[in-house]
Amino acid sequence: MHAVREWLRDASSIAVLTGAGVSAESGVPTFRGSNGLWKQYRAEDLATPGAFARDPKLVWEWYDWRRSLIAQAKPNPGHYALAKAEARARKFTLITQNVDGLHELAGSRKVLRLHGSIWMLRCLDCQSEREDRRIPLPEIPPRCECGGTLRPGVVWFGEALPAKIWQDAEIAARHSDLFLLIGTSAIVYPAAGLASIAKSSGARVVEINIAESGLSDTIDEFLQGPSGELLPQLIA
């Protein structure tokens, strides 16, 4: 903990990758682990274009349920600590896999959302995008004015990440001298690969998680515990 505090203070460029674990203490369920199931489905069963094509109603019910939980959620001390770290740092890039928008609500300014936003809807026919925060949605699946079916504006398995956002994330990881990997199982690529990109470019990599992840062997320092407690201690 002490060493990491010094690394944070001395770093000239910090990149952070967050996952569902940073929002767990805000009451947003993670994808994997004990509370990672909705009904009997895993994220891999629902977060795919194929699942949506087969049963858009089922997939939308999952998103509608998550949207209602996220709408009630507030940023936790971990989100606020990261916003504070950004304000203090020379160079700081927050990269998130989360679609909940809690980093922005906590005051983080530069957020690269790799997997989109749960509040954006996109038409399968005309491709137009809009923000829609209504809960519950009046109709499931929701429809575009053009008559097409709307889908959540997120990135599913097998889909490419938004190109410019991914490019910026890769550059931030490559140029960072300190990389924080927080609250992610680090099994979903290409996001998880950012830690290796940072490491092979010479950055120190620090992981914060309640449990070891797939990448814990490769990092410089593992801080075990809830990010809502550890981050405020690191960024006091």
Give the shortest CB-235-to-ligand BJW separation in angstroms: 15
Give the shortest CB-148-to-Zn ion separation in angstroms: 4
CA 76 to chain centre: 15
27 counts as binding ligand BJW under rule CB under 6 A: no
Residue 37's contacts (CB-CB under 8 Å, 6 or more residues apart) are: none
Query: Which residues from 66-85 bind ligand BJW, rule CB under 6 A?
Result: none
97 counts as binding ligand BJW under rule CB under 6 A: yes
210 counts as binding ligand BJW under rule CB under 6 A: yes
Using the contact rule CB under 6 A, the part of the chain among 7-15, 25-33, 50-58, 130-138 near ligand BJW is 25-33
209 counts as binding ligand BJW under rule CB under 6 A: yes
Q: By C-alpha distance, which of 173, 166, 167, 171 is closest to 205? A: 173
Give 188-192 contacts, CB < 8 A, sequence gap 24+. Answer: 188/97, 190/161, 190/166, 191/17, 191/19, 191/95, 191/97, 191/114, 191/115, 191/161
Give the shortest CB-126-to-Zn ion separation in angstroms: 3
Active-site choice (79, 103, 115, 175): 115
Compare residues 80 and 156 and give the one whose CB is closer to ligand BJW: 156
189 counts as binding ligand BJW under rule CB under 6 A: yes
CB-count burial class (<10 Å; 0-12, 13-18, 19+) for 15: buried
Q: How many angstroms separate the Cα of 208 from the Cα of each of 34, 43, 105, 179?
A: 19, 23, 21, 11
153 counts as binding ligand BJW under rule CB under 6 A: no
Structural element, H or E, at residue 205 = strand 204-209
Structure tokens at 194: 């950012």
- Identify the bridge partners of residue 221 per DSSP, sorted by sequence position: 206
Query: Which residues from 44-63 bind ligand BJW, rule CB under 6 A?
Result: 47
Active site (annotated) includes residue 2 = no
121 counts as binding Zn ion under rule CB under 5 A: no
Query: Rounded to whole angstroms, how far apart are CA atoms 51 and 72?
Result: 27
Site for Zn ion, rule CB under 5 A = 123, 125-126, 144, 146, 148
Residues catalogued as catalytic: 115
Site for ligand BJW, rule CB under 6 A = 19-21, 24-25, 30-33, 36, 43, 47, 97, 99, 115, 154-160, 183-185, 187-190, 209-211, 213, 226-228
